[in-house]
């Protein structure tokens, strides 16, 4: 069962972040279509993040001015990528953003709530300027969130 898989996983990792509630067949994930739709949202979240990381990889070749800004502000493209990824993985799957701990869940529903919560606060992050410089317009704006 899903509960025994979750229990084994919790035991194996030693430390669990967020709620351990599994939402399948309840008001949060009432049927398979809702479940599938939630997985379809993953690309709307991850594609813009990946595009920003790819932008940082091309800085030296494409824009010396922006590369200088990133070097001065973040210590270079590699440090900026680490800052973005550390913040994303620390906050995007922690169970935050739900109305309560029960709704947070450990399944795709709860983790997507956390990821969307992270997306909704990205403009307050110290690295948001890098998102804007890369052409980012939003997590649902334009193709993959870019102009």
pLDDT, mean over the chain: 84
Which pLDDT score, from 0 to 100, does residue 61 have?
Answer: 86
DSSP annotation string for 77-89: HHHHHHHHHHHHH
Torsion, CA 17, CA 22, CA 24, CA 29, rounded to 10:
-50
Over residues 41-51, the pLDDT tens digits come to 888 889 999 99
The structural domains of the chain, with segments of one domain joined by +, span 2-139
pTM of the model: 0.77
């Amino acid at each position: 069962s899903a509960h025994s898989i979750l229990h084994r996983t919790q035991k194996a990792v030693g430390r669990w972040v967020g709620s351990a509630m599994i939402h399948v067949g309840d008001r949060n994930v009432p049927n398979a279509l809702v479940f599938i739709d939630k997985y379809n949202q993953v690309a709307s979240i991850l594609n813009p993040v990946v595009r920003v990381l790819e932008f940082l990889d091309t800085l030296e070749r494409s824009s010396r001015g922006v590369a200088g800004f990133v070097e001065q502000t973040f210590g270079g493209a590699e440090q900026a990528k680490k800052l973005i990824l550390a913040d994303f993985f620390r906050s995007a799957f922690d169970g935050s953003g739900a109305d309560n701990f029960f709704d947070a869940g450990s399944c795709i529903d709860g983790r997507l709530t956390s990821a969307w919560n992270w997306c909704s606060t990205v403009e307050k992050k110290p690295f948001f300027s890098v998102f804007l410089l890369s052409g980012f317009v939003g997590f649902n704006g334009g193709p993959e969130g870019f102009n």
